[in-house]
Amino acid sequence: MFESRKELLFIYSVKDANPNGDPLNANHPRYDEETGQVLVSDVRIKRTIRDELLRQGENVFIDGEPKTLSYRFSELKEKLGTTNGQDTLRKCIDTRLFGVTFALGKESFAWVGPVQFKWGRSLHRAKVEFIQGTGAFVTKEGGEQRTIRNEYIVPFALIGTYAIGNQYASERTGAEEDDFNKLVKALWNGTNNLITRSKTEHRARFLMEISYKKDFNGLIGSLDERIKVTKKDGSLLDEDEQLSLRSIQEIIINLEEIYDKILLLKDKIEKIKIVKDPDLEVTHLDNVKEVLGEDKVEVELR
């Protein structure tokens, strides 16, 4: 099982791409009309992680291919040398981390995953643009009129998501500390490895992993809602400035509220790991090091 409770904050940027299209709405990017924020489902985030884990050779239950449950289960049983659902899925890293509902034949069970992601949201108001272009082929033999291609893109969005790692749920699914470490790496590397046309220019920018001391069951909570995007002078962006944002070099990520919470829980925190894009300016990292001590805060530029 996990050694202790964990919290994860992840920020990535999207430029001239579709972060998460809605198939029931012409693949329009998921969008909160009230706040003007671009949305990304937890399912999309987990898919990014699964795809990267697959590339790393890990056993994954949901491999993204169009298969029936029965066929996929048979594939895995043959590969893993297992005979039942519980043994089979306990050998798959995604079901150990995210949980599963399984019902096939006479066997059925459900595991609550120890790692749960919130929906991602852009940290500012963002635009969605409708783009048209011509396709590669004509509409009929001998004709000159090419097919029309329609798509939506988001010119720029800085998206934040948040996850909790629950040590008690990990005992039920068999998830180990190493599984969580692989998830963290896959989240960062998998975002940078997205290669579909609608997912180009996805870039991991900031990751914070908070590990608490054993037997502590609290947390800060909603780390993604405790950060602010500001201009270089520290002032907030107005609505027009948020919509015209096109680069991380135009802004600063302010962690003051998270730092205030860390200050209150400093005796309960075992370690904080941070991975940061060198181009992204983030405030209060030195304050976090100061209050916890250099030995408890690991910062990597990547």
89-124 pLDDT, tens per residue? 999 999 999 999 999 999 999 999 999 999 999 999
Residue 19 has pLDDT above 80, yes or no: yes
List residues bridging with 282 in a β-sheet. 253
Model pLDDT, residue 131: 87
Asked if residues 5 and 165 have their Cβ atoms less than 8 Å apart, the reply is yes
State the Cα–Cα distance between residues 193 and 270, nearest whole angstrom. 31
Q: Which residue from 120, 131, 152 is spatially nearest to 38, judged by alpha carbons? A: 120
pLDDT tens profile 191-206: 999 988 777 789 999 9
| Nearest Cα residue to 264 out of 226, 300, 299 | 226
Give the Cα separation of 65 and 72 in Å (integer): 9
Q: Name the one residue in this structure whose structure tokens are 């069951």.
A: 217
Average pLDDT, the chain: 94
Q: Give the pLDDT confidence score for residue 242 in this predicted structure.
A: 98
Q: CA 34: distance to chain centroid?
A: 23
Q: Give the DSSP H/E element, type plus range, for residue 184.
A: helix 177-192
Q: Distance between CA atoms of 274 and 8, rounded to whole angstroms?
A: 10
Please write the tens of the pLDDT for every residue from 44-58. Answer: 999 999 999 999 999
Kindly report, residue by residue over 138-189, the tens digit of the pLDDT. Answer: 556 665 665 666 889 999 999 999 999 999 999 999 999 999 999 999 999 9
How is residue 184 written in tokens?
């963290």
What the block records as the tokens of 45 is 């985030």
Q: Cα–Cα–Cα angle for 268, 273, 278, nearest 5°?
A: 145
The confidence band for 134, taking pLDDT boundaries of 50, 70 and 90, is low
Give the per-residue pLDDT at 5: 98
Average pLDDT rounded to a whole number, residues 264-290: 97
Q: Which residues face 228 on adjacent strands?
A: 254
Contact assessment for residue 173 and residue 179, using Cβ atoms and an 8 Å cutoff: no
216 within 8 A of 4, measured Cβ to Cβ: yes
CA distances to 7, 224, 293 from 287, in Å? 19, 19, 10
pLDDT in tens, 62-89: 999 999 999 999 999 999 999 999 999 9
Residues 280, 206: contact at Cβ < 8 Å? yes
Instruction: Please give the share of the chain, as a percent, with pLDDT higher than 90.
Output: 89
At which residue do the structure tokens 């940078």 appear?
192
